[in-house]
């Protein structure tokens, strides 16, 4: 268990530092990154891990939104959790959901849009209309209780499947 968690933490560490190597908290963590990861693994295994304080700021482009930035150490834990649970949720997403999905980035979205335009316009022979919109404050208005229940349901179902496989 400990060995697997440590290996998974190293993977999460490499994921978290991608394109962030010049950030102050990343550099600070990297000075003793192996020791820091072993300490983090112990805290997780002992049930003593506590998330740190996030910094909060507002960005105005492309739309005004509130950002909560976790410390680098906490972002490693975020990646660890993501790496464990992403496969459970990935299969339930529709094909045209593109944000934060492997192989479903901007280029894939553009190709899909082009496919839909060509199809709708009969290969550019007819007019075609596209609606681009953003629902202001959508994520801040999501009912967190419903979201938490759906997440718990998915995780509990996965845990039950895993237990059934172990019994076989």
- % of the chain at pLDDT higher than 70: 100
59 forms beta bridges with 65
**Given a cut of 80, is residue 161 above it in pLDDT?**
yes
H-type helices in the chain, by residue range? 2-17, 24-30, 33-45, 72-90, 106-120, 138-141, 144-167
- Looking at the whole model, is its pTM more than 0.85? no
* pLDDT at residue 125 in the model: 96
DSSP string, 116-142: HHHHHTTTTTS---------TTHHHHS
- 12 burial (CB, 10 Å; 0-12 / 13-18 / 19+) is buried
- % of the chain at pLDDT higher than 90: 64
Mean pLDDT across the stretch 136-160?
90
Across the chain, mean pLDDT equals 91
* pLDDT at residue 153 in the model: 94
What is the phi/psi pair of residue 68, to 5°?
-115, 115
Domain ranges of the chain: 1-91, 93-131, 135-168
* pLDDT at residue 5 in the model: 94
Mean pLDDT across the stretch 8-25?
92
**Given a cut of 90, is residue 76 above it in pLDDT?**
yes
Q: CA-to-CA distance for 1 and 22, rounded, in angstroms?
A: 32
Q: What is the pLDDT of residues 88-126, one digit of tens each?
A: 888 888 888 887 788 888 899 899 999 999 999 999 999
Using an 8 Å Cβ cutoff, are 8 and 83 in contact?
yes
């Amino acid at each position: 268990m400990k060995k697997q968690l440590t290996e998974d933490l190293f993977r999460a560490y490499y994921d978290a530092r991608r394109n962030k190597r010049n950030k102050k908290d990343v550099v600070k963590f990297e000075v003793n990154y192996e020791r820091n990861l072993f300490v983090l693994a112990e805290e997780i295994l002992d049930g003593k891990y506590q998330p740190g304080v996030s910094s909060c700021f507002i960005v105005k482009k492309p739309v005004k939104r509130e950002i909560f930035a976790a410390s680098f150490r906490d972002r490693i834990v975020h990646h660890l959790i993501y790496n464990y649970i992403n496969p459970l949720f990935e299969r339930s997403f529709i094909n045209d959901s593109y944000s934060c999905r492997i192989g479903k980035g901007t280029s894939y979205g553009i190709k899909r849009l082009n496919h839909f335009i060509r199809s709708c316009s009969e290969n550019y022979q007819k007019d075609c209309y596209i609606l681009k919109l953003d629902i202001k404050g959508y994520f801040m208005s999501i009912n967190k209780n419903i979201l938490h229940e759906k997440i718990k349901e998915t995780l509990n179902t996965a845990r039950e499947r895993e237990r059934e496989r172990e019994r076989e």
